[in-house]
Amino acid sequence: MPTAETAHFEPARRMSANGWAVALVFLPPALLLFTVFVALPMVEAAWYGFYDWDGYGRPERFIGLKNYGYLIGNPVFARSLVNNGLVIAVSLLVELPLALAAAMAVAGRVVGAVWFRMIFFLPYVLADVAAGLIWRYMFSGDYGLVATITGALGLQPYYLLADRDWAFTAILIVIIWKYFGFYMMLYIAGLKGIDKSVLEAAEVDGASALQRFRYITLPLLGPMIRLSIFFAVVGSLQLFDIIVPLTGGGPFDTTHTMVSFLYYFGITRMRVGFGSAVGVVLFFICVTFAIGYQRIFMRND
């Protein structure tokens, strides 16, 4: 006859058995998919990075770390790293603060708030390639928005995307426009989770709007802010789809990011081994940031 003590542990044993059954059913397919589509390609890319290989046949010409050595002295790759850094800086210092300000403005019961949210979020729904093509037309000096403005002012046609000093600035403008709404919606979701009674109590106690934002809203919004920073940095490191239709890395290879550098200097030129080395470097940068950031800043979220 089971005692009260054994009866207490029976549900736990039963739940544990059910958990193992679920794991045995669902875990093998997930592990198989992860191995085939994630783990094996990463291992193969790391292996190809040691060869001078054009993608045809089996890689046979082993060159060791020479592909990585080519990266160290490559000025285009150095510029690509700088460009990725600029995207991260603009995302953190301009895009996220603007998104937070807009979220604060439209999160409450404001007339037309739903429409404002939809308008700001629509660019994010648009495919990156389509957005790049639209803005390429907008920046065109022949028939786009820039052409209309210069024509109205009686100026000579100006080709912004052909200017090596300003082409990447145009890309940064597109990035802010494209992803601004996504981060705004993240912050709105975080603001909706804040207990309004806390803010009302602070207002009754005489706290100003700035004090309520600094000491209540901002700390309670901390997990969402840290998550948005994580998304912004990882997304900036992987930026590619907007670069291709806008500039293709030009003019004079000044607007490449690491991924577009990998594509144009590795895949399209049939230097698969060199491109694989670039992919390995990008992988380690992303993984190092992701693990370090989560352990330092998001371990309690």
Domains in the chain, CATH or no CATH each: 66-296 (1.10.3720.10)
Q: Which of 14-18, 78-82, 242-246 has the lowest mean pLDDT?
A: 14-18
pLDDT of residue 3: 52
Q: What are residue 239's phi and psi, to 5 degrees?
A: -60, 130
> Which residue type, as a one-letter code, is found at position 17?
A
Contact residues for 134 (Cβ-Cβ < 8 A; gap 6+)? 126
> Which residue type, as a one-letter code, is found at position 285?
I
The 8 Å CB, 24+ separation contacts for 246-249 are: 246/132, 246/135, 246/136, 246/139, 246/161, 246/170, 246/171, 246/174, 247/161, 247/167, 247/171
**Residues 131 and 174: beta-carbon distance below 8 Å:** yes
Whole-angstrom distance, CA of residue 157 vs CA of residue 120: 30
Whole-angstrom distance, CA of residue 225 vs CA of residue 63: 44
pLDDT band for 9, please (50, 70, 90 cuts).
very low
Alpha-carbon torsion (245, 134, 85, 259), positive or negative:
negative
pLDDT of residue 208: 87
- pTM here is 0.86
1 pLDDT exceeds 50? no
User: Regarding predicted confidence, which is higher, 5 or 134?
Assistant: 134
Please tell me whether residue 62 adopts helix, strand or coil conformation: strand
Contact residues for 233 (Cβ-Cβ < 8 A; gap 6+)? 88, 91, 92, 289, 293
Question: Each residue of 217-251: pLDDT tens digit?
Answer: 899 999 999 999 999 999 999 999 999 999 999 89
| Half-sphere exposure (Cβ direction) of 73: Cα atoms closer than 13 Å | 4
Question: Each residue of 119-157: pLDDT tens digit?
Answer: 889 999 999 999 999 999 999 888 888 888 888 888 888
Whole-angstrom distance, CA of residue 96 vs CA of residue 231: 11
Please tell me whether residue 65 adopts helix, strand or coil conformation: coil
Torsion of Cα atoms, 256 then 258 then 260 then 262, to 10°? 130
113 pLDDT exceeds 90? no
Torsion of Cα atoms, 271 then 272 then 276 then 278, to 10°? 20
